[in-house]
């Protein structure tokens, strides 16, 4: 059996992976909060852990792996979105959940075995909170329940900080009812306009962290193998999950291996909704960039390294995938033949077995493609291995039509970049104008952007550039 090595955030080492039970390898990954389209950064953990899921299924057998990824469908950002739009919360969460599944499906991500939604697990959360109170790890006050951080000695071990450092450095919410500023919310009261459930502490709703503890316990048990997510979740979310789960179930040890992907960046900064420097997966798909291209670009960088999305990388990816697709017509007697990934080349498996070395797996694909070309015969073993390997890495649905629309794709990628650059220019010009009180440059820029059919939506802190129906990319080019 292939030996897997995975980097464990908890021990800060690459370790040989030994599942608790080879017949039931269990993985939990924190999923999205469903109030809006997923941005490209949100897709990174999905693709990273999809590769791991495929690898685990290959090594332990598809029926011996359970992958759980949640949907956070109760959250103040969702409430705010409902208030802004006048729509029902359940409509927003149902619609966004489906968008997420469709967009991630386009990137070749398999659906996890279980996709629990937080609102389906409220009774389990209440039970866990009651246990934490009974054992002195939490306290109820003014309709809130708070976790008593200092009751858990190992708090901070995952991210390697002491509680005192965290108090000094973190933006912890100080509230009069807290015993200690570090204590975090397990339950909070809801007013009539907010979603709420009856509980021993009155009508209220859960804090964010408790859902992952309750759902992973329910679906995977008190100890399981792998817990994943972006490294922005390490503190406080994952520290809090560990504290809740280990205190509520001291008989278990929660997750054995913690894996964290690094962030997707735009010009050196994390892509995030709050920074406004994001574009959605759907934006790229709508502009004609195939999901396979996005996936290929993601896999070209190791998951523990920050990665930049660039037009150049996407162009190259399209070129390689398009070439491999065209090669099918010459090298296979049936170019429409489908592949499952079962016959993957072992060098690819070995690359991934070394802490998901996807860049090495990609360069191995080039080697295999070279061998397939050299083989010179139709349906050669080498050629079959190439397409089996591509399928294993999640490129089983290579779509020739989409891949070959190269010019449209390149233009679309350029547009995304140009818009992002113009937005930065605009923000800079505006901040300079604020100081000099000379707004002529801002006005000129705004007029030129508007002339290209792009709406300029300004708020105090931000500016959004939204291409409208008369959008003319050629005019935008002139502004480059
Ligand atoms: P959120 O909806 O912000 O809670 O994020 C959902 C998932 O996306 C989490 O695993 C985050 O760590 C991850 N994530 C958010 N932004 C990025 C980014 N820029 N790069 C990589 N992962 C991200
Ligand atoms: Zn979580």
Nearest to 239 by CA among 200, 262, 213: 213
What share of the chain in percent tops pLDDT 70? 94
Number of the ligand closest to the Cα of 213: 2
E strand or H helix at 463: strand 463-467
From the CA of 271, give the closest atom in ligand 1.
Answer: 19
Q: How does pLDDT run across 47-83, given as a tens digit for each residue?
A: 999 999 999 999 999 999 999 999 999 999 999 999 9
Q: Is the CB of 271 under 6 A from ligand 1?
A: yes
Residue bearing tokens 């650059």: 421
- Distance (angstroms) between ligand 1 centre and the Cα of 249 equals 28
| CA-closest residue to ligand 1 atom 5 | 32
Number of the ligand closest to the Cα of 75: 1
From the CA of 278, give the closest atom in ligand 1.
Answer: 19
DSSP assignment of 10-59:
TTTEEEE---S-TTSEEEEE---BSSSPPBHHHHHHHHHHHHHHHHHHHH
Is residue 401 predicted with pLDDT exceeding 90? no
Report the pLDDT value the prediction gives residue 214, as an integer from 0 to 100: 98
Is residue 468 predicted with pLDDT exceeding 90? no
273: pLDDT confidence band, cut at 50, 70 and 90? confident
Report the pLDDT value the prediction gives residue 150, as an integer from 0 to 100: 95
100, 230, 264: residue to mutate for ligand 1 pocket, most atoms within 8 A of CB: 230
- The distance from CA 341 to its chain's CA centroid, rounded to whole angstroms, is 24
Report the pLDDT value the prediction gives residue 196, as an integer from 0 to 100: 96
- Distance (angstroms) between ligand 2 centre and the Cα of 222 equals 15
| CA-closest residue to ligand 1 atom 6 | 32
DSSP assignment of 185-234:
EEEEE--TTS--B--TTSSEEE-STHHHHHHHHHHH-SEEEEEEEEGGGI
Q: Is the CB of 234 under 6 A from ligand 1?
A: no
Q: How does pLDDT run across 104-130, given as a tens digit for each residue?
A: 999 999 999 999 999 999 999 999 999
Q: How does pLDDT run across 406-448, given as a tens digit for each residue?
A: 555 555 556 667 777 788 888 888 889 888 989 888 888 888 8
Report the pLDDT value the prediction gives residue 314, as an integer from 0 to 100: 93
Report the pLDDT value the prediction gives residue 287, as an integer from 0 to 100: 87
Report the pLDDT value the prediction gives residue 450, as an integer from 0 to 100: 87
Q: Phi then psi for 141, rounded to 5 degrees?
A: -155, 130
Report the pLDDT value the prediction gives residue 26, as an integer from 0 to 100: 98
Q: Is the CB of 41 under 6 A from ligand 1?
A: yes
């Amino acid at each position: 059996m292939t030996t897997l090595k995975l980097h464990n955030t908890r021990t800060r080492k690459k370790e040989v992976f030994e599942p608790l039970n080879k017949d039931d390898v269990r993985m939990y990954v924190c999923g999205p909060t469903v109030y809006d389209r997923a941005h490209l950064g949100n897709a990174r953990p999905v693709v990273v852990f999809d590769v791991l899921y495929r690898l685990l299924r290959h090594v332990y057998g598809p029926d011996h792996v359970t992958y759980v990824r949640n949907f956070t469908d109760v959250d103040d950002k969702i409430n705010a979105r409902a208030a802004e739009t006048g729509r029902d919360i359940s409509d927003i969460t149902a619609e966004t959940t489906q968008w997420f599944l469709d967009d991630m499906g386009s990137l070749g991500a398999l659906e996890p075995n279980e996709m629990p939604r937080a609102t389906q697990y409220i009774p389990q959360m209440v039970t866990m909170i009651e246990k934490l109170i009974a054992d002195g790890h939490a306290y109820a006050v003014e309709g809130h329940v708070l976790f008593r951080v200092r009751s858990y000695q190992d708090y901070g071990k995952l991210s390697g900080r002491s509680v005192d450092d965290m108090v000094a450095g973190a933006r912890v919410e100080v509230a009069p009812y807290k015993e200690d500023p570090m204590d975090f919310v397990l339950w909070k009261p809801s007013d009539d306009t907010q979603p709420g459930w009856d509980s021993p502490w009155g009508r209220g709703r859960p804090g964010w962290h408790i859902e992952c503890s309750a759902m992973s316990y329910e679906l995977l048990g008190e100890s399981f193998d792998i817990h994943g997510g972006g490294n922005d979740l390490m503190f406080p979310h994952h520290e809090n999950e560990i504290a809740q789960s280990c205190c509520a179930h001291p008989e278990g040890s929660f997750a054995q291996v913690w894996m964290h992907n690094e962030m997707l960046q735009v010009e050196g900064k994390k892509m995030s909704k709050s920074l406004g420097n994001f574009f959605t997966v759907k934006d790229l798909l709508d502009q004609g960039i195939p999901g396979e291209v996005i996936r290929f670009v993601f896999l070209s960088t190791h998951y523990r390294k920050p990665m930049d999305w660039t037009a150049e990388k996407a162009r190259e990816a399209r070129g390689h995938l398009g070439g491999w697709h065209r090669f099918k017509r010459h090298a296979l007697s049936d170019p429409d033949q489908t592949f499952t990934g079962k016959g993957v080349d072992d060098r690819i498996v070995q690359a991934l077995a070394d802490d998901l070395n996807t860049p090495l797996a990609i360069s191995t694909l080039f080697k295999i493609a070279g061998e397939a070309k050299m083989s010179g015969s139709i349906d050669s073993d080498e050629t079959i291995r190439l397409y089996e390997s591509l399928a294993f890495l999640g490129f089983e649905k290579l779509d020739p039509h989409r891949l070959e629309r190269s010019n449209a794709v390149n233009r679309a990628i350029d547009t995304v970049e140009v818009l992002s650059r113009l937005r930065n220019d605009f923000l800079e010009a505006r901040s300079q104008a604020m100081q000099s009180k000379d707004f002529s440059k801002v006005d000129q820029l705004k007029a030129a952007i508007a002339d290209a059919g792009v709406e300029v939506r300004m708020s105090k802190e931000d500016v959004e550039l939204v291409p409208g129906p008369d959008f003319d990319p050629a005019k935008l080019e002139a502004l480059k």
